[in-house]
């Protein structure tokens, strides 16, 4: 008897993605995806209008709360929708939506709980358009993260990710930052919870409409990562335990602050 097909829910954390949302959605493998949820984080453009035209499940923040806050709503609503596998696909078309079957394959086969789509495994990112200073910062931070987390990943700073339902239900996502460093905090939680992490190569596109952090934003992000790693070292060495990393609880019961579903 064959296993039932897992319910795959794509979540799109959106902010001013009107110009790229349609082509991102159209290239999703819809024979694999059961539901697409878009969370708009206070966009000033026509993101919501385009999402409605596409028939997406939409949740709207009443202001710009941040990338981490957007993901919290994404995962909360995906779990409420009964997702077995949750895939984050940025609607800025930087990551190839057609690769979704490859992204979820390690989870479907039972080999991983968390899958990262790695740009560093997907070819020469410098030739693909990644700025040199971003590449060097990525390499430096990844080496530190591998050392602290005890992993051997090519990178941690990708926006193309897939999670098994139980992985998100195990950690307390709500304790993480509302900013970009959310990605590193949830990785620290997964490492502490001993989740199996896999990587899949994904080429990326760099073009004007694709979202990209400025040098100043990237610097702040890098410093925030160092602070997360420092706190995690203190936690692991019992110098200063952190409830954020200790709390193995899934809290997706209450409504997201400032979020509403205009389709209901």
The CATH number that applies at residue 48 is: 3.90.550.10
Q: How far is CA 221 from CA 6, 36, 76, 226, in A?
A: 35, 28, 24, 9
What domain count does the chain have? 1
Residue 212 falls inside a structural domain: yes
Query: Any idea which of 162-171, 179-188, 254-263 has the lowest mean pLDDT?
Result: 254-263
Domain that holds residue 19: 8-241
Mean pLDDT on 157-179: 95
Backbone phi and psi for residue 8, each to the nearest 5 degrees, phi listed first = -105, 120
Residue 166 in domain: yes
Residue 262 lies inside a defined structural domain of this protein: no
The model's confidence at residue 213, banded by pLDDT at 50, 70 and 90, is low
Least confident of 5-9, 121-125, 149-153, 191-195: 121-125
pTM > 0.85: yes or no = yes
Residue 208 has pLDDT above 70, yes or no: no
Return all residues near 202 (Cβ < 8 A) that are at least 6 apart: 95, 96, 99, 103, 117, 118, 119, 121, 122, 158, 160
Residue 263 lies in a domain: no
Q: What does pLDDT average to over the chain?
A: 88
In a domain, 236, yes or no: yes
């Amino acid at each position: 008897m064959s296993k039932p097909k897992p319910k795959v829910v794509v979540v799109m954390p959106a902010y001013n993605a009107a110009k790229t949302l349609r082509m991102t959605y159209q290239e999703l493998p819809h024979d694999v995806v059961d539901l697409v949820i878009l969370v708009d984080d206070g966009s000033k453009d026509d993101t919501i209008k385009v999402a409605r035209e596409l028939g997406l499940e939409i949740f709207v923040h009443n202001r710009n709360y941040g990338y981490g806050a957007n993901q919290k709503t994404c995962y909360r609503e995906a779990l409420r929708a009964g997702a077995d596998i949750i895939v984050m696909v940025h609607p800025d078309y930087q990551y190839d939506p057609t690769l979704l079957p490859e992204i979820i394959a390690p989870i479907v086969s039972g080999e991983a709980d968390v899958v990262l789509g790695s740009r560093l495994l997907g070819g020469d990112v410098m030739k693909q358009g990644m700025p040199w200073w971003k590449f060097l910062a990525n390499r430096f931070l990844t080496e530190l993260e591998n050392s602290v987390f005890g992993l051997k990943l090519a990178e941690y700073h990708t926006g193309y990710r897939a999670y098994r339902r139980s992985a998100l239900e195990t950690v307390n996502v709500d304790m993480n930052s509302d900013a970009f460093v959310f990605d590193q905090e949830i990785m620290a939680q997964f490492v502490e919870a001993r989740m199996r992490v896999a990587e899949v190569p994904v080429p990326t596109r760099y073009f004007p409409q694709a979202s990209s952090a400025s040098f100043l934003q990237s610097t702040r992000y890098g410093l925030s990562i160092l602070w997360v790693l420092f706190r995690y070292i203190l936690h692991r060495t019992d110098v200063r335990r952190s409830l954020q990393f200790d709390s193995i609880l899934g809290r997706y019961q209450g409504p997201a602050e400032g979020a509403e579903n205009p389709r209901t």
